[in-house]
């Protein structure tokens, strides 16, 4: 049985279809593993065992991932069968009257959700330490460190082998940050590639998008194929794929012009282990025949303007979410985590004109980044400016939201790369290509032009073959058997 936890989702689905194990047996095993590890990791909440058993009977046996257990992030992916806290005491045990399109498509893929995975309150942090859960979510590689955020529970569970794949979402790096932190694959597709409805038309002015935490490129490719496409009434669509993400795995990219960024976008130095990861990857790509050159940032001023606008948009979005549960003029600091309270206070200062100005700045930034990527095909950088942060460093107690996000020791200094591509809408991914001392994963980040998702996926597969990481992942899973 233990070896089944080492499978990616595609391999596990094959074993289920071959009769090596039934979906019910696999669900029971995953539940047992979750129960055993969750006291340490605090990654899984809202377990719905009976509902999951019921879902197996409602799932088509010929679905691509029939019987594979999974988790839903405890934020978004609204589902009638799965209550949610949304990381917040205000939203504790929220029951939905509808199913989100992303959930419906995950179910059509054959996945069997059995619980939700921890998230920071309303998704506004790079670590999963929301007060509603009592304890922080920990990194299974090194439990003194964060698993990332906001999809930190999903990443912790996938890395620990509880499930091979889990739902996440990404509004400023919330799939890629935990992927980097936990040694996983995290792909943020082009804006609107995945559905947002029916609850909302877009998240954070179009900067937020759903996604998945996986251990293999092929699992990510398959899930994106099964879930991509606008849902009914979507306000805009992504450029159509030329073929599919799975087909892209079979077609390694032509010689690519790859620009390498070894500082952050402001020109500041980053942790030596992150530089080492980037240089090692650049050397490998050069060896594969790609045209690899160091790039010196030309967008520092644009990034500064964008990140301030991003912060105002997220503050306004947070105020909206809080207001849905409690009148803002009666909100106290005891109702929400400190960071959320601070975001609401900033949101109160953002006028309608300020909000529209912020959106204009973000859209102008997207055009600037589109122009920048005319000079090369892929931008290579670290995913984070340092290895995974110790637990508590980003504990959500700072009520100055602008400082929490953009201060000298804030989130943007820690994660200076990811939000750039939420703002631009361009596809980006993190791959697990390096481990720092202390067994701390260090992700490497790749970004491409708007709509070039398939090219980026093909490159990811080429890298996975050249610098395979599965043995390292399995080492951790076996350690936790």
pLDDT in tens, 413-440: 999 999 999 999 999 999 999 999 999 9
Cα dist. 246→5, 68, 363 in Å?
23, 19, 31
Residue 256 has pLDDT above 90, yes or no: yes
pLDDT at 327: 97
pLDDT at 458: 98
Report whether pLDDT(465) > 90: yes
For residue 14, the model assigns a pLDDT of 98
Strand partners, 44: 117
Q: How much of the chain, in percent, has pLDDT values that exceed 70?
A: 100
Region 2-298+366-479: CATH code:
3.90.1300.10
419 touches 307 (CB < 8 A):
yes
Q: Which string of DSSP letters, residue by residue, matches 177-241? A: HHHHHHT-EEEEPSTTSS--TTT-S-BTTTTBEEEEEESSHHHHHHHHHHH-SPPTT-S--PPPP
- The DSSP 8-state label assigned to residue 91 in this structure reads T
- When pLDDT is cut at 50, 70 and 90, the band that residue 199 belongs to is very high
pLDDT averaged over every residue in the chain: 98
The token pair at 162 is: 């509880």
The pLDDT of residue 388 = 98
Q: Is the pLDDT of residue 56 over 90?
A: yes
The stretches of 327-480 forming alpha helices (DSSP H) are 338-349, 352-372, 401-406, 411-414, 418-424, 453-466, 470-479
Q: Is the pLDDT of residue 1 over 90?
A: no
For residue 28, count CB atoms less than 10 angstroms from its CB and return exposed for 0-12, middle for 13-18, buried for 19 or more. middle
Q: Shortest CA distance to 400 belongs to which of 411, 391, 390, 389? A: 411
Distance CA 472, CA 183 (A): 9
- Confidence check: pLDDT of 93 > 90: yes
296 has pLDDT over 90? yes
Task: Provide, rounded to the nearest whole percent, the portion of the chain with pLDDT above 90.
Answer: 99
Give me 430's structure tokens: 């993190």
Residue 142 has pLDDT above 90, yes or no: yes
The pTM of the whole model exceeds 0.95: yes
- Report whether 380 contacts 285 (CB < 8 A): yes
For the chain, report the end-to-end CA distance as a whole number of angstroms: 10
Alpha carbons 126 and 109: distance in angstroms, whole number? 29
- Under the banding of pLDDT at 50, 70 and 90, the label for residue 66 is very high
Please count the other Cβ atoms lying within 10 Å of the Cβ belonging to residue 327.
8
Residue 192 has pLDDT above 90, yes or no: yes
Across the range 197-223, mean pLDDT stands at 97
Mean pLDDT of 463-474: 98
Per-domain residue ranges of the chain:
2-298+366-479
């Amino acid at each position: 049985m233990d070896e089944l936890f080492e499978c990616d989702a595609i391999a596990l689905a094959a074993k289920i279809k071959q009769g090596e194990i039934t979906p019910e047996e696999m669900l029971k095993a995953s539940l047992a593993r979750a129960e055993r590890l969750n006291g340490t990791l605090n990654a899984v909440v809202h377990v719905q065992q009976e509902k999951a058993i019921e879902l197996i009977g409602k799932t088509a046996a010929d679905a691509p991932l029939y019987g594979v257990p999974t988790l839903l992030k405890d934020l978004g992916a609204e589902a009638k069968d799965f209550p949610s806290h949304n990381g917040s005491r205000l939203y504790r045990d929220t029951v939905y009257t509808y199913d989100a399109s992303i959930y419906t498509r995950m179910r059509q893929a054959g996945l069997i959700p059995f619980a939700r995975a921890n998230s920071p309150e309303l998704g506004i942090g790079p670590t999963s330490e929301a007060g509603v859960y009592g304890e922080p979510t920990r990194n299974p590689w090194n439990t003194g460190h964060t698993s990332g955020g906001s999809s930190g529970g999903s990443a912790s569970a996938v890395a620990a082998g509880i499930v091979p794949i889990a739902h996440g979402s990404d509004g400023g790096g919330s799939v890629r940050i935990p992927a980097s932190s936990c040694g996983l694959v995290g792909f943020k597709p082009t804006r609107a590639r995945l559905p947002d409805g029916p609850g909302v038309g877009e998240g954070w002015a179009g900067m937020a998008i759903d996604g998945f935490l996986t251990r293999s490129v092929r699992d990510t490719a398959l899930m994106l194929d099964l879930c991509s496409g606008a849902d009914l009434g979507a306000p805009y669509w992504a450029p159509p794929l030329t073929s599919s993400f799975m087909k892209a795995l079979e077609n390694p990219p032509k010689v690519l012009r790859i620009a390498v960024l070894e500082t952050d976008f402001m020109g500041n130095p980053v942790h030596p282990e992150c530089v080492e990861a980037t240089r090692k990857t650049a050397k490998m790509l050069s060896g594969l025949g790609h045209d690899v050159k160091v790039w010196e940032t030309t967008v520092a001023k644009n990034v500064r303007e964008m990140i301030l606008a991003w912060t105002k948009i997220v503050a306004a979005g947070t105020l909206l979410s809080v207001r849905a549960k409690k009148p803002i003029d009666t909100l106290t600091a005891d109702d929400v985590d400190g960071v959320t309270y601070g975001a609401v206070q900033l949101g109160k200062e953002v006028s309608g004109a300020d909000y529209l100005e912020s959106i204009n700045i973000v859209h102008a930034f997207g055009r600037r980044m589109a122009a920048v990527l005319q000079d090369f095909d892929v931008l290579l950088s670290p995913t984070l400016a340092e290895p995974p942060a110790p637990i508590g460093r980003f504990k959500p107690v700072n009520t100055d939201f602008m400082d929490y996000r953009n201060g000298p020791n804030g989130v943007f200094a820690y994660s200076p790369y990811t939000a750039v591509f939420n703002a631009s809408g361009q596809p980006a991914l993190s791959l697990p290509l390096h481990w720092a001392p202390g067994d701390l994963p260090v992700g490497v980040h790749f970004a491409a032009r708007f709509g070039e998702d398939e090219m980026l996926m093909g490159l990811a597969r080429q890298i996975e073959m050249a610098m395979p990481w599965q043995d390292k992942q399995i080492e951790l899973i076996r350690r936790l058997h």
